[in-house]
Structure 1
Amino acid sequence: MSEVSATPPRRTAAQRLREVARDLFYRQGIRATGVEELCRVAGTTKISLYRAFPSKDELVACILRDDCDQEAAWYRDALGPATPPRERPAAYLAAAVAELRQPGFRGCSLGLAIAEFPDPEHPARKVADNFKRGLREALRRVSAEAGAADPDMLGDTLMMLTEGAFSSAASLGAGEAADALERAGQQLLAAALPAEGG
C-alpha cells in the first residue's frame, strides 16, 4: 500500500492575502496597512491581489464579511432557540464578556472599521453598518421575548453597553472592560426584566 502524503494543500494567493489582511488590519489598522505590506507578508504580488480582489476596498469588505460571520457565531447560541427566551439577554452579555477576555482582543473589528471609514457609502462601512443594524434588531427581539417592558430600550442599551466595552478595551484593558460590562449588564437586566416567576 502506498503512503498517503500528509502535506496540506498549498493555499492560494487569495487565501494567503485574506489571512494576512485579517491579522494586519486588526492589529495595526486598515488605512495603516498598505498593499505592498500585504503582498510582502502574504508572499504574493500586487497582480495576484488585484486578480483576486478588484481593489483594496473590496478586500477590506471581504474581510469584514468574514468578521460578520465570526461575530455572529459567538452569539448565535445565546440568541437562538437553544437558549430559553428569558435567558437570552444574559447569554448575549456572557458571550460578549467572553469575547472581551480572548487573548489579543483590541476591539470589535467592525467597530474599528466604522471609525476608520466615515463615509457611509464606503464598501467597508456598508458591511459593518448592515451587521450592526441587524444585531440591534436581534437584541430588541430577544428583549421582547424575554419579557422586557420596553424591549427596544433594553435591546439598544445592551448594544450600547457592549459597544462601549469593546471600544474601551484599548484604554482600560480588555479584562477591566469585561468586568465593567458584566457588572453593568447584570444591573441592567435585573432592572429591565420581570423577576422570574413574576
Structure 2
Amino acid sequence: MDAPVATPVTKPRSPAAQRLHAVAKDLFYRQGIRATGVEELCRLAGTTKISLYRAFPSKDELIASVVRDECEENSTCQLDQSFDPALPLRDRPAAVMKAAADALRVPGFRGCAVGLAIAEFPDPAHPARKVADAHKLKKREQIRQLCAEAGAPDPATLGDAMLMLVEGAFAAAAYLGNDEAAGALERAGHLLLAAALPPPAD
C-alpha cells in the first residue's frame, strides 16, 4: 500500500512566516536543504526561531511547505503549456520536451526543485518526500495521458521514456553545462518522438 500523502500545512500568513518561507525557498534551491540551517534562515529572514516554530511545527514541516509550493508553481515541468487548446494533440509531447529544455537554459537553473528534494531525503516517510513523490507520480500520469492523446501505440512506455530523458538531462547539466544538456535533450527527444508517434496526418 502506498504511503499516505502528508496533510498540507497551512500556507504562512504572518509577515514573519512569509519571509521565512521565501528565504527558505531561495536557499533550499540554491545551496541545498540540508546545507541550510535554522539559524541562517532566521537571520536572513530577520526573525527568530520562536517565530519559525510558531509558523511551522518543525524544520521538516517548513521543508514540506516549500516543496508543496514548488509543486503548485510547477515552475520547471511547465506542463500547462502542453495543454494549450490551440496546440494539436500530436504536438503536445514535443511541447513537454521543449519546456524542459527551455527551463535548462534559464540562468541559475540547477534542476527540478522537487527532484532535488527527493534526492536529499531517502526516507519515503519524510513529509517532504510524501509531497514530492505524489507530485512526480501525478506528472508521470499526465505525460502518459498526453502521449495517449497524441496517438502513441504504447503511451505508458513513451511517457516514461520522456520522463527519463528530462530527469537525466536535469542531472547531467551539473557536469555537461546547462546549454549542452538542453541541446542533448532536444536531439534525443526529437528522435524518441519521431520513432514512437505515428507520422503526421497529411
Aligned to 1:156: 160
Whether the aligned pair in 2 keeps the contact of 1:79 and 1:91 (CA below 8 Å) is no
Task: Confirm or deny that 1:86 pairs with 2:69.
Answer: no
Alignment match of 1:41 (pick from 40, 44, 52): 44
Identity %: 65
Equivalent pairs, count: 188
For residue 169 of structure 1, what is the amino acid of its counterpart? A
Distance 2:197 2:143 in 1: 14
Task: Confirm or deny that 1:137 pairs with 2:141.
Answer: yes
TM-score normalized by the length of structure 1: 0.91
Task: Confirm or deny that 1:15 pairs with 2:18.
Answer: yes
Report how far residue 94 of structure 1 moved.
0.7
Aligned to 2:32: 29
For residue 141 of structure 2, what is the amino acid of its counterpart? E
Distance 2:86 2:59 in 1: 39
2:74 alignment partner, SS class: helix
Alignment match of 1:57 (pick from 48, 56, 60): 60
Distance 1:79 1:119 in 2: 33
Distance 2:54 2:88 in 1: 47
Aligned to 1:67: 70
2:78 alignment partner, SS class: helix
Aligned to 2:191: 187
Report how far residue 171 of structure 1 moved.
1.6
Report how far residue 49 of structure 1 moved.
0.5
Alignment match of 1:100 (pick from 87, 97, 104): 104
Runs of 4+ in 1 over 6 A off after TM superposition: none
Q: Please, which runs of 5 or more residues in structure 1 have no aligned partner?
A: 1-10
Report how far residue 158 of structure 1 moved.
0.5
Aligned to 2:201: 197
Task: Confirm or deny that 1:114 pairs with 2:122.
Answer: no
Distance 2:52 2:88 in 1: 46
Report how far residue 140 of structure 1 moved.
0.7
Aligned to 2:178: 174
TM-score normalized by the length of structure 2: 0.89
Alignment match of 1:77 (pick from 45, 66, 81): 81
Whether the aligned pair in 2 keeps the contact of 1:107 and 1:166 (CA below 8 Å) is yes
